[in-house]
Amino acid sequence: MADFLKTHGISKASFQPVVEAVQNPLAELSDDTCNMILAALPWSLAAPADQRRDVQQMIVRMTGEIVEGIQSKLQDTVTSEMGSAEELEGSKSTLEGHAQQAEASAEEASQVVQASKERLAQAAAAQGGKTASLQEAEVAEQRVAAELKTIRSSIADFEDVLANSFVKLRDVSFEESEAEGLVAKVMAMGKACSLEDSLLATLPACLAKRERGAFDQQVLTAAEQTLRQKVSGSVEKATALETQLLTCQTSVAAAKTDLEAAGGAQAEAAEQLQSAEATSAAASTASAEARQAVTEVQVKLAEAQTTLEKSREALDSFKSYNVFMFEMLRDATSKKAEISAEDASMEPLAESQPAAEPSAEPQPAAEPSAEPQPVTEATLDSQPAAEEPASKIPEQAQTGVTETMAVLGA
């Protein structure tokens, strides 16, 4: 085979790309079929295109179909991977939009949480203010209530002293044994009512007398009048305190209502904050998941682009290496065919030139060349060997081609 290739000016390096194409896994040939084609291929593809026999042309044609099939599969792979990359690019664009929307939602939810925190703080401050107001109202109510209670007790005591002790002493209806106690009660009332010092000084003696003069009677009358005026003033003060107490009670009730409302507002703000935080957490999770999805599709896209680039390189390499070398060998012709083509192109030019005049002296006949002229011309090697006649193809090669055709035909 090496001699046959050399005869036709084909190097092993220029023939190897075709061998590799036949052996390519994408050819999907069985080992027997691959070996048989490889056995017949050198004797077929190395022969010039214008000198190939039918069986050689068949082998070349079958090899061409294998090469075209591989190229088609490589092209299909590139097309498919390009579609996958474009699909991933579209998915990335879509997911990027979703991620941006999720991030915007998360930011909005975060702002809602912040606003809810501010409302809760305001509600808490308002509740604190309402609590303080209620406490002040309750303290005022308690103070007025205590003062009213004290004055009512005083009025009751004063009225009791006036109705019993003072009347008994005034009307001299007391026993001698009780006179001292009755006077003491009246004097205690007088001090409590802030009687004038002159009355307080003269009143005890006047009260204890059974025989009274005009002065004594005048002192008793003035004392009684003063005490009753004090009691009347206390009653009026008690009435005012009752009105004031009612106002305090109203204020306390209003403060309680306000405090309850503030408490409700705070509870509502706390609930809103809790809901906003839950929404924000969900939005943050969705944003992270959306961004993670973008990252994952970016990784897949990068892998798909790398795979696509490798597939393109494989296709380009196959076209520029295997296909190119196969087509060059497939279309190579013999030297005779090239010379005939040149002669055919020169015929119109020769007819247009005038006939040369015969030389006066006879020309000597050309001597035959000492070396045989090659029938074919190498298309790739610079120093081709003379082509062997087709009948000189080794017998074993003919047998191999015949067997190959029989198997492939079956």
Instruction: Give me the tens of pLDDT residue by residue for the chain, a chain 410 residues long.
Output: 788 888 888 888 889 999 999 999 999 999 999 999 999 999 998 899 999 999 999 999 999 999 999 999 999 999 999 999 999 999 999 999 999 999 999 999 999 999 999 999 999 999 899 899 989 999 999 999 998 898 888 888 888 888 888 888 888 888 888 888 888 888 888 888 877 888 788 888 888 788 888 888 888 888 888 888 888 888 888 899 899 989 999 999 999 999 999 999 989 999 999 999 999 999 999 999 999 999 999 999 999 999 999 999 999 999 999 999 999 999 988 875 555 555 555 555 444 444 444 443 444 433 333 333 333 333 333 333 333 433 333 344 444 444 544 444 43
> Which pLDDT belongs to residue 232?
87
pTM of the model: 0.56
Q: What is the CATH number of the domain that holds 231?
A: 1.20.1330
Task: Please check whether residue 198 lies inside any domain of the structure.
Answer: yes
Handedness of CA 213, 214, 215, 220 (dihedral sign): positive
Dihedral of CA 272/274/278/280: which sign?
positive
Per the structure, how many domains does the chain have? Answer: 1
Residue 228 domain-assigned? yes
Helix (H, G, I), strand (E, B) or coil at 381: coil
Q: Give domain status of residue 122, yes or no.
A: yes
pLDDT at 379: 37
Q: Are 4 and 393 in contact (CB under 8 A)?
A: yes
SS3 314: helix
* The pLDDT of residue 343: 54
Q: Is residue 217 part of a domain?
A: yes
- Residue 29 is assigned to a structural domain of this protein: no
Residue 155 in any domain: the answer is yes
What's the pLDDT at 336?
58
Is 26 part of any domain?
no
* In-domain check, residue 152: yes
* pLDDT value, residue 369: 35
Residue type present at position 358:
P
Neighbouring C-beta atoms of residue 98, cutoff 10 Å = 17
Judge residue 13's burial from the number of C-beta atoms within 10 Å of its C-beta, 0-12 exposed, 13-18 middle, 19 or more buried: exposed
Output the CA–CA distances (angstroms, integers) from residue 273 to 103, 126, 261, 286, 402, in the order listed. Answer: 20, 17, 18, 19, 90
Write the CB contacts of 309 (distance below 8 Å, at least 6 apart in sequence). none
Q: Which domain holds residue 219?
A: 117-290
